Amino acid sequence: MYANKKEPTVITNTELFGIFLLSLLLMVLIFPKQSIEKAISDEKSNYDLTLIYLESIARAYPDNSENWLRLLKAELKMGKTKEAEQILQKMAKMPTVKQIYLDILSFELIRTRYQKSTTKEEKKALFQLLKERLEKFAESNDPTLWQIAIKEAPQLSLDSIAYEAFAKRVSHTTLCSNEELKRFFYLGQKVHKEEKTLKILQNYLAQTPQKEIYELLKNHFLAHQAYNHAAEIESDCYRNLHQPKCLLDAATYFFIAKEDQKSIALLHKYQDNYLDDADISQKIIKLYLAYQKLHEAHDYTLKVLHRQKLLPERRK
């Protein structure tokens, strides 16, 4: 009666380990790296499942720092700061993990604690730590750390720290967008570092001219009736972009600032470039006349007329 009864199957530890590895392989195939990153950043993800998966991967490959990094970020996303700190301590012992990454992760851990803190004293202490970290980031020579300071410091009302990081970024690259340069300009005004800001921007524009930023600086000086400075900006604009309007504006602002000799010298240097341009040459003549520079207007008019063959050649 009981002859066909099967004995229960016993699974050895080796077989269990093999099943675990097979399951792990399937999970990796089903959830590639990109999917893991998406799961961590997705607010609607099942974090309990994500954490189990990430922890399994990290423990299966304990020497792979990337796996621990993804697990740490997921723990921080969940607000599990104790678990994140333990992972950070483990990563600090890995020779493949650079110090800069440890510094960034440490900052993110402190920031998460600060955001979760409910007591005034603890929040104050954590704020001080964040401030010290951001100051070090701004003082460093690493563009990645500057960017973090630029982004994070204003959120803590630490505009001066953000400014110093921003100043380094603009001083050490020619790849800033117009929007970045505008942000830097207005931040400089906010922290009362206008002179330093203008010097940095002028140095930047000398390497990477941008008309929109020249306009921003010119309008700033005009708003303060600093016509001589506006003229210098337009002079730089002309030398770098070769736009006639910049030349005419620069000369005009020098005249308004009672810097007649600078205006005349500037026009004398470049006005012959426009002898064949009826529109620009007429504007130069009108500019001389508007500021009663009759001798200069007369001489330049003769030059234009001779170039356009409207007067006979001068006898030698």
Query: How many C-beta atoms surround the C-beta of residue 74 within 10 A?
Result: 24
Q: For 225-275, what is each residue's pLDDT tens digit?
A: 999 999 999 999 999 999 999 999 999 999 999 999 999 999 999 999 999
Q: Which two tokens stand for residue 90?
A: 């483990």
Is the pLDDT assigned to residue 25 strictly greater than 70? Answer: no
- Rounded CA-CA distance 236/240 in Å is 6
Distance of CA 17 to the CA centre of its chain: 49
- Rounded CA-CA distance 27/57 in Å is 9
* pLDDT the model gives residue 210: 95
Q: For 193-211, what is each residue's pLDDT tens digit?
A: 999 999 999 999 999 999 9
Is the pLDDT assigned to residue 24 strictly greater than 70? Answer: no
Kindly report which listed range (1-15, 105-119, 159-173) carries the lowest average pLDDT score.
Answer: 1-15
CA distances from 217 to 46, 193, 194, 232 (A): 50, 14, 11, 10
- Which is nearest to 91 in space by CA: 104, 78, 79? 104
Distance of CA 158 to the CA centre of its chain: 17
- Rounded CA-CA distance 39/217 in Å is 45
CA distances from 273 to 38, 176, 247, 263, 270 (A): 59, 32, 11, 16, 6
Contact 236, 206 (CB under 8 A): yes
Is the pLDDT assigned to residue 36 strictly greater than 90? Answer: no
The pLDDT-based confidence of 19 (bands split at 50, 70, 90) is low
Is the pLDDT assigned to residue 27 strictly greater than 90? Answer: no
- Rounded CA-CA distance 222/286 in Å is 22
* pLDDT the model gives residue 310: 75
* pLDDT the model gives residue 112: 96
**Which span out of 29-43, 65-79, 129-143 was modeled with the highest average pLDDT?**
129-143
Contacts of 18 (CB under 8 A, 6+ apart): none
- Rounded CA-CA distance 236/69 in Å is 48
Question: 182 burial class (0-12, 13-18, 19+ CB within 10 angstroms)?
Answer: middle
* Ordered domains of the chain (ranges, CATH): 15-106 (1.25.40), 239-316 (no CATH)
Type of residue found at 118: T
Q: List, in sequence order, the alpha helices (H) in the chain.
A: 13-30, 33-41, 47-60, 65-77, 81-92, 99-116, 120-139, 143-152, 159-171, 178-190, 194-207, 211-223, 227-241, 244-256, 260-270, 278-290, 294-307
**Using the 8-state DSSP alphabet, how is residue 153 labeled?**
G
Alpha-carbon Rg for the chain, nearest whole angstrom, is: 33
